[in-house]
Amino acid sequence: MTVTAPAPSATTAARTDTLLDFSNVEMTFPDGTIALQGVDLVVRRGEFVTVVGPSGCGKSTLLRIASGLETASDGTATLGTDRIGYVFQDATLLPWRNVTANVELLAELHGESKKERAAKALEAIDMVGLKGFEKHLPKALSGGMKMRASLARSLTLDPELFLFDEPFGALDEITRERLNDELIRLFNAKNFAGLFITHSVSEAVYMSTKVVVMSGRPGTIVETFDVPFAQPRDPEIRFTPEYAALVGEVAHALRKGHGHS
């Protein structure tokens, strides 16, 4: 297994369109559990790819390999950029830092000057709609607002590839839909490529340009669906028959992959 990081000049000179390329990736844990098997997946610039699958199918493992948190046992994972944003399942805000200080954290870890990171944080906070909450501590924020802060934190990296590990899974339906819309807006505004993990089929179809369905353990890709709806998405498409039909197809593939056909 190799994770190929781009050469330092790659992002400036030859801007590649393939930002993530998984080829025959396999993941076997030390206890013998096979989490992923023969996974081929490509994420290109301008794509928002969502992976849906049952719990424990290795969706998150896929993301952890892409980010470098884990190393695959076999196959190759090639990254086309070193500007990667990662949004965790939890907001993972440091409870002792206020919103601004949390959003500044990544730039701070990269040794950027106070002025630089303050400017980045200000812009990112603005972008996720948390203006006015800069001085709030995480415990004073709602679940949705925490997630916004977490999103803002990753935005300061100006990522080309954005990895999302079920970020809205713990939120209520209304907040979740609102954040789906905001994320789509950010996707269109910032032009990053997204790899989004979720177990919600409707969320997957609504947000992405491509939906990848995974089977239960060991996780393999069962089917890939191109989502034909135009970006930026109109929230009203959720109520169209085409949308419902596609959700149905994806859900069907998901059930098949899980052995419930």
3-state secondary structure 1-26: CEEECCCCCCCCCCCCCEEEEEEEEE
Under the binding rule (CB under 8 A), the answer on residue 20 touching another protein is no
Using the rule CB under 8 A, which residue among 31, 32, 174, 239 binds another protein?
A: 174
We find the least distance from the C-beta atom of residue 114 to another protein, in angstroms, to be: 15
One character per residue 109-138, x = contact with another protein (rule: CB under 8 A): xx---------x--xx-xxxxxxx---xxx
From the list 68, 60, 43, the residue with the least C-alpha distance to 169 is: 60
d(CA 103, CA 226): 34
Under the binding rule (CB under 8 A), the answer on residue 52 touching another protein is no
The amino acid at residue 131 is K
Under the binding rule (CB under 8 A), the answer on residue 80 touching another protein is no
Of residues 201 through 240, those in contact with another protein by CB under 8 A are none
We find the least distance from the C-beta atom of residue 176 to another protein, in angstroms, to be: 11
Q: Pick the closer one to another protein by CB: 101 or 244.
A: 101
- The torsion angles phi and psi of 174, rounded to 5 degrees, stand at -65, -50
Under the binding rule (CB under 8 A), the answer on residue 75 touching another protein is no
Structure tokens belonging to residue 106: 């990544």
CA dist list (Å): 127 to 46, 155, 238? 19, 9, 25
We find the least distance from the C-beta atom of residue 236 to another protein, in angstroms, to be: 16
Q: Pick the closer one to another protein by CB: 3 or 171.
A: 171
Q: Pick the closer one to another protein by CB: 14 or 140.
A: 140
We find the least distance from the C-beta atom of residue 254 to another protein, in angstroms, to be: 27
Of residues 148 through 167, those in contact with another protein by CB under 8 A are 148, 155-156, 158
d(CA 234, CA 181): 9
Using the rule CB under 8 A, which residue among 29, 55, 56, 68 binds another protein?
A: 68
From the list 177, 189, 203, the residue with the least C-alpha distance to 232 is: 189
d(CA 261, CA 259): 6
CA dist list (Å): 143 to 20, 133, 154, 220? 30, 14, 17, 32
Number of residues that bind another protein (CB under 8 A): 50
d(CA 137, CA 101): 9
Give the three-state DSSP class for 164.
Answer: strand
Q: Name the residues that contact another protein, by CB under 8 A.
A: 67-69, 84, 86, 88-90, 92, 94-96, 105-106, 108-110, 120, 123-124, 126-132, 136-145, 148, 155-156, 158, 171-172, 174-175, 178, 182, 185, 189-190
